[in-house]
Structure 1
Amino acid sequence: MRTEIPPQAPGAAPAFDQRAQLQVDAFWRAANYLSVGQIYLLDNPLLTEPLRPDHIKPRRLGHWGTTPGLNFLYAHLSRQVALRELEMMWIVGPGHGGPAAVACAWLEGTYTDVYPHVGRDADGMRRLFRQFSFPGGVPSHVAPETPGSIHEGGELGYSLAHAHGAAFDNPNLVVACVIGDGEAETGPLAASWASVKFVDPVRDGAVLPILHLNGYKIANPTVWARVPEEDLASFLEGHGYRPYFVSGDDPSVMHGRMAGVLDEALDAIAAIQRAARQGGGDGARPRWPVIVLRTPKGWTGPREVDGKPVEGTWRSHQVPLDKVREDGAHLRMLEEWLRRYRPEELFTPGGVPVDDVTAVLPRPERRISASPHANGGLLLRPLRLPDFRDYAVEVERPGTETASATTVLGGWLRDVVRANPRTFRLMGPDETASNRLSEVFEATNRAWSAERLPTDEFLGPDGRVMEVLSEHLCQGWLEGYLLTGRHGLFNCYEAFIHIVDAMFNQHAKWLKVSRTLPWRRPIASLNYLLTSHVWRQDHNGFTHQDPGFIDHVLNKKPEIVRVYLPPDANTLLSVADHCLSSRDYVNVIVAGKQPALTYLPMDEAIAHCTRGIGTFPWAGTDDGETPDVVLACAGDIPTLETLAAAELLREHLPELKARVVNVVDLMRLQPPTEHPHGLPDAEFDTLFPPDTPVIFAFHGYPWLIHRLTYKRAAHPHIHARGYKEEGTTTTPFDMVMLNDLDRFHLAMDVIDRVPGIGPRAAHLRQYLSDQRLDARAYTRRHGEDRPDIRDWTWSR
């Protein structure tokens, strides 16, 4: 029978006696057995007969090296959860620890709860083994399919940032974050150690980092495993941690060491939180515990294969025995390896885990693999959003008054923060003020638990704005925050959001897969606000000029991604409200921060954003007839230049019938067969008549417009202008001229592409070309743009 142990208050764990050690070891051996079975076996899961080649998978895929250490940790963490009644989740940083996470979830019963066809018996064990890294099965890494996970194991570096994101505003949660020593070499993980300086012990939960040093990557030693212990201790202490070390390879010794260190670490966490929450502390920043676990890579696996050492070396990283179907000696070694775990002691003849295996487990609602925080949609509550209409700017006449779109948005975000003081955070790499969102500081501070000086502004442990000069950390924190059931917004300079390209990839893939799993509940969307964008980085120059994140985003599945280019302040408010209310998307909003013309009163802005694409009747001259040309635009600066071009054409070619079309939702350009927001062909053709030239001024790289519209009837007549990798430190108008996106060039494109106009507009074309030359010469003489260009407004 299972040994009943009464719940313990934090800091009051009983001694780790022989009975407890036997139970922890039994769970560990069972998890190791199941992990090896997943890598190798198709059948004969309980070894009821000698292993034969047909029991073995034809392709052995998976990673053994990190797995036994993960199983070891899970056994000890589960025991602590049961003893202390902890609310705990774990994050698996080592790249391919999938066998461990799946095995432990199956032993707990969570896997069967989620996937009833994989029962907790011999047949279920067979299915568990067969599906692993098998066509139609589950991946070899920790993935959305793995209960208890929020962290994709396919790419390294993000575990500690995700863990802190999960802990923010979760005061009762302990996040055990296992960091592989290979992962510890990555840039994002190196930056993530600083996350501890943003943890508030009153408001937030705790992260317990466990740096697992097993010595090797795929084929090389790891840097951190070769660092002397005293140097590693100095490194961690310098970051503000108190390190605890556990080292060895003898399980009978290691179980006791691990139990003792976990007791100390969890007691320390409880003491830090108690002092902070009861007000009895000295106000100094606490030193949070970190555990350094050093075990052999491939622990308990084959020590030697074909005369070469395996356990404790890089050879155990993936599949230590790779010829088991072809080589009888390897097959016998695999069977000996599996039998060393003594499965007959761990499972009944029917394949059910025995009581000694499950004795370390907490009650079902406390299981690590069943933590609701790892299925954040279960905990998600809608944001309380103030009515964005109340923040509208007045627009009496289009294109005549200015407003900074992000400044206006900042006022709304300030009140979003006020209305959601524990479920919304604003992330950004030291750019909240630069991006004109400073009004949020009327409601909150920047989160900061490190030293403060009298000259500092808006710093405090209770801040809702997370700023650190690492886009990786901002992304990782926000992902962890969203995946555990909260909401947020990431604001960033457009050119440097590329730093998180790979992190975005992983999150988009996570969303794509999780949407296919009925038990995964929808989470709040990942929202990007990209500002300080390419067309207004004229002062910082070429390095700050890159709109290509849009292209990268659109490589992902269409049901996941959305891209919005609101042309003014009111449309930005409408788009932001929509994005913060959405679920399971990645929303990219691109908007300028500099004062810019406003075009649409709020009611019209809402209608325009709801359509996602539409005409500006006041700017066109087609008067409801088939146009001679369509002037299309997407983005605030392309809209400005398009309208200025339309006015030039109206003045100099009054007989020309021009239509102005503005695109807010970039996905509307695609057919509905390609994207859920796609505009039906019939509607697209009404806006862009198939035989009519289209001059398209686009915020980003112009070839993206062709990619989105190549199936449209009008596509042969679309001529796109945008950023073509020409930039420098110059004036705003010279910047658009460098890329042929300026009003004069757009008007010249109309002359060149509308049949019949060229021969009678030669003088106008020369005039427009001369205007470009004069505008550039003016900047070289005066260091600024011509006043008539700089101060242009719509005059109609």
Structure 2
Amino acid sequence: MTMTARTLLAAADWPSAAAEALEAIPDAAVDAYWRALNYLSAAQLYLADNVRLEQPLHPDDLKAVPRGHWGVCPPVNFALAHLGPLIALSPPGSDVVIVHGAGHAGPSALAAAYLNNTLDLGSGTGWSMPNLRTLISQFPNTDLGGEITPLIPGIRYTGGQLGPALAVAQGMAFDAPHRLVVPLIGDGEMETPITAAAWTGRRALIGTGPHGAVLPIVLANGLKMGGASLLAGLDEKALCGYFTGLGYRPFVHDGRDEPGFRRMLAQVLSDLTPLDANAPQPVIVLTMPKGHTGPTCVGDRQIAGTPAVHKTPLTCPKDDDAEFAALTAWLTSYRPRELFTAQGHPTILVRQALPGSQPPAPALVGPRRWDRTGEDTGWRAVSAVIRQRAQDGGFRLFSPDELTSNKIDTGGEGTGTPPWTVEVLSEELCHGWLQGYTESGRDALLATYEAFAPINTSLLVQHLKHRRLAAAAGRRGQPSLNYLITSLGWRNTYTHQNPGLAAAMAETEEPSLHVYTPADAHRAAVVLDAMLASTDQLNLLISDKHHRHTFPTGPFSRELALGAAVWPHLTTCGSADPDLVLASAGDVAARELTAAARHITTGHPEVTIRYVHINDLTTLGPPTTWPHALSETDFADLFGRGLPVLIVTSTTPGIIRSLLAARGDADRFHITGYRDPGRPLHHAALLDHCSMSAPQLAARALALHKERRS
């Protein structure tokens, strides 16, 4: 018996307990649940009335234009129907999570939420004929949409991200031995690099547990959106060989023999091992055809096995007699009056197989704040923050094989890598794990090279959309998404220079975004500590691992609170307006601009300056877009009114230009930052190319002063 078996079902004998959970429900009930899901999925696409087919179907009962996706719903529904008893009969403290990789199974997810009595369609949750009519006739509901999002109860992952479902499922199972996660993975997702990485990436998890279990179900239905999938070219022997080579034990089934599938599922559950076990893991390959149970053909037009099943297989049944006849046969084949009462309730037969709602997972230990009085200084302080947070559990550090290079000391020297650290050379996979881990209520950090972080741009944008919808559905207080971006391009080879992630994220105008650019390692450590204690934020911490400068900490509390602050030790104007303002954002920028400021104050004492450091770039944007932005008063106190301002940033200048332009005060700001040199340059030459060396910055500042005086 496996560790997962003991903790998941708290049973003395996991195989027999799983079998009992499945056998306790009659085959007829599971079949009825599957038919109910299929009927509701199809009815949402086509019906405007007569939602229980109490009367013979009439063209007036149909929507003028059918909309939605059908093809992936039947295999998804098949999986949901057979997992329902396992979810329903699992004991308190266990957690079974289904991750929908296919966003186009929206009708299925809505159908499941209605049957589970958790769907609010505007008049409260509950089974009723008015609610059943609303579900079907108003699809796609303008408030919920027609695809899988967290606006639908029970959804923990926005389908349609195309690829991360398996990785996210693995992240959810980390450090959760009570949890079974079942990702439903489509043919299209199987062709993505992040899914490919996740199959073999599990090997990096051996010995990092205890974890829960992941049971992948591959919906190998043979079709993508527009044609045959790559999996469709493999026969069963080749398909099994593929998964066996990846370290899995495949179970292949076409879905035609439901009792046989239930017996197979019991065997699969008995073979489950924790995610961290060094043993072959089971994977179910469901080869049910896409659109199964739908129309096969209309006249001489083939539907089954073609891309026509992806959306609405019948495009105009209201006006086409042949299509109307096909739709009538299709919907009546589910025998809906056996599935729903006249009051819109699932019948007793269906209700025997329903999973019901699960209690929330137990709360985890919150983060302990970093002890800033410790002996760690410089970049070692950043490592100290990470180690101290890890001590309390409920924390993971993910990195693409770069912790040593990034000078992050996890404290494992001589004893191996700590189990709370996972490295695998895939930014996308690390993000998928981060996403799953934080989505299940734990804190995590992804540490990577600045140049490679932009690989995850699309994944971050998509997950931010998920979080916005989750917040709209009332799910707030989620752990923040935290990125530590280091090994900056200023000290790296030409191919390792790409500070583009911050700018790409700023373009989304995501209110929860913070782009931190601390001036030194001590500040970086304090910022990282605050990031790990925050919720509902996307935090990007940009900090160079090569720290040789430390600046006075007096202004830092204000930098942390407001996002920017005046540095008095470099400011010569007192309370009066200066001749110009110098502002740095980032450690490399602060190193060069402070040297330039000293040159000005010693060599040109007649020029008065105010020195500002910007700790969070997004505070420069307008408060109407960024809730944590500088107020108009604070902005004027820092940058004056009508004064020339030279801003030096370790990022690209574009992010600051766009933020200031949105505030409507960009003309007087002169911004210097990274520019692609087009060829390899050593550190000093790159600074010169970007006009960011201290002598160049001093000359630029004096030129601005001269222009203002002339």
Q: Quick one: distance in 1 between partners of 2:169 and 2:334? A: 32
| TM-score, with length taken from structure 2 | 0.93
Are residues 1:263 and 2:266 paired? Answer: yes
| One-letter amino acid matched to 2:416 | F
* One of 124, 128, 139 as aligned partner of 2:131: 124
Conserved 8 A contact 1:8-1:83: no
Q: 2:339 aligns with which of 318, 340, 346?
A: 346
Counterpart contact for 2:118–2:126, Cα < 8 Å: no
In 1, Cα distance between equivalents of 2:162 and 2:473:
24
Q: Residues 182-261 of structure 1 correspond to what in structure 2 (within 5 A)?
A: 182-197=188-203, 198-199=205-206, 203-247=210-254, 250=256, 254-261=257-264
Kindly provide the CA deviation profile for residues 566-600 of structure 1, in whole angstroms up to 9, marking residues without a partner as x: 11122112211211111111111101101320003
Structure 2 gap ranges (5+): 1-10
Determine if the alignment matches structure 1 residue 372 to structure 2 residue 343.
no
Give the aligned partner of residue 480 of structure 2: 525
Over 3 Å counting, the alpha-carbon distance change for 1:258 and 1:713 in structure 2 is closer
Deviation at 1:14, TM superposition (A): 4.5
Measured against aligned partners, the alpha-carbon deviations of 1:109-156 in whole angstroms (never above 9, x if no partner) come to 2325x976253121111121244324x232332111122222111221
Instruction: Look up the match of 1:579.
Output: 531
1:536 aligned onto 2:491: yes
Would you say 1:458 and 2:416 are equivalent positions? Answer: yes
Distance 1:173 1:414 in 2: 26
* 2:175 equivalent in structure 1: 169
In structure 2, relative to structure 1, the CA distance for the partners of 1:87 and 1:344 (3 Å cut) is same
Q: Any idea what SS the aligned residue of 1:595 has? A: coil
Note the 1:115-514 alignment, pairs <5 A.
Answer: 117-134=124-141, 136-197=142-203, 198-199=205-206, 203-247=210-254, 250=256, 254-269=257-272, 272=273, 285-362=278-355, 364=356, 367=357, 370=358, 372=360, 379=363, 381-390=365-374, 393=377, 403=378, 405=379, 407-418=380-391, 420-421=392-393, 423-441=394-412, 458-459=416-417, 463-514=419-470
Q: What is the identity percentage for the equivalent residue pairs of Structure 1 and Structure 2?
A: 35
Larger Rg: 1
State the Cα deviation string for residues 547-578 of structure 1 (Å, max 9, x = none).
11011111234322111111112211221121
| RMSD after superposition | 2.5
Q: Which amino acid counterpart does residue 536 of structure 1 have in structure 2?
A: R
Pick one of 8, 14, 34 that aligns with 1:10: 14
| TM-aligned CA deviation for residue 76 of structure 1 | 0.7
- Cα deviation per residue 1:733-765 (whole Å; 9 max; x = unaligned)? 211111112222222222332245898xxxxxx
Specify whether residues 340 and 426 from structure 1 end up closer, same or farther in structure 2 by C-alpha distance, changes over 3 A only: same
Greater mean alpha carbon deviation, residues 331-340 or residues 48-57: 48-57
Q: How far apart in 1 are the matches of 2:509 and 2:13?
A: 47
Alignment partner of 1:599 is 2:551: yes
**Partner deviation per Cα, 1:436-486 (whole Å, 9 max, x = no partner):** 1124426xxxxxxxxxxxxx9725xx7100110011110001110111111
Deviation at residue 527 of structure 1 after TM alignment: 0.4
SS of the residue 2:472 aligns to: coil
| Counterpart Cα distance in 2 of 1:503 and 1:371 | 29
1:712/1:348 Cα in 2 relative to 1: closer, same or farther (>3 Å)? closer
1:325 alignment partner, SS class: coil
SS of corresponding position for 2:15:
coil
Structure 1 pair 87/512, CA: closer, same or farther in 2 (3 Å)? closer
Q: Displacement of 1:502 after TM fit? A: 1.1
Q: CA deviation at 1:392?
A: 6.2
| Contact preservation (8 Å) 2:250, 2:284 | yes
User: Which residue does the alignment assign to 1:778?
Assistant: none
Does 1:90 find its partner at 2:86?
no
Q: 1:743 to 1:323 in 2, by over 3 A?
A: same
State the partner residue of 1:447: none
Aligned residues: 696
Task: Report the CA distance shift for 1:410/1:115 in structure 2 as closer, same or farther (over 3 A).
Answer: farther
Measure the CA separation in 2 of the matches of 1:466 and 1:385: 23
| Cα distance in 2 for residues equivalent to 1:343 and 1:9 | 38
CA distance in 2, matches of 1:139, 1:440: 48
SS of structure 2 residue aligned to 1:140? coil
CA distance 1:691–1:758, change in 2 (3 Å): closer
- TM-score (norm: length of structure 1): 0.83
* Residue 589 (structure 1) aligns with: 541
Q: Distance in 2 between matches of 1:17 and 1:583?
A: 42
- One-letter amino acid matched to 1:662: H
Q: Please give the per-residue CA displacement for 1:281-321, whole angstroms capped at 9, x wherever unaligned.
A: xxx82111111111111000011135222123321011111
Structure 1 residues 224 and 658: alpha-carbon distance in aligned structure 2, compared to 1, 3 A threshold? same
**Structure 1 residues 655 and 54: alpha-carbon distance in aligned structure 2, compared to 1, 3 A threshold:** farther
Question: Where does the alignment leave 5 or more consecutive residues of structure 1 unmatched?
Answer: 1-6, 277-283, 394-402, 443-455, 760-796
SS of structure 1 residue aligned to 2:453: helix
Residue 683 of structure 1, CA deviation = 2.1
Letter in structure 2 aligned against 1:534: G
Structure 2 contact 176–211 (Cα < 8 Å) conserved? yes
Contact 1:381 1:485 in 2 (8 A): no
Q: Distance in 2 between matches of 1:317 and 1:463?
A: 43
Whether 2:15 is the aligned partner of 1:27: answer no
Q: Structure 1 residues 210 and 757 mapped into 2: Cα distance closer, same or farther (>3 Å)? A: closer
Contact residue 565 and residue 591 of structure 1 kept, 8 A: yes
Judge conservation of contact 1:214–1:312 (CA < 8 Å) in 2. no
Instruction: Write the letter of the residue equivalent to 2:512.
Output: I
| Separation in structure 2 between the aligned mates of residue 316 and residue 714 of structure 1, nearest angstrom | 53
The one-letter amino acid paired with 1:625 is: A
> Against the structure 1 CA distance between its residues 472 and 201, is the aligned structure 2 distance closer, same or farther, given a 3 Å change threshold?
closer
Structure 2 distance, partners of 1:641, 1:752, is 17
1:757 and 1:557 map into 2 onto residues whose CA distance is: 33
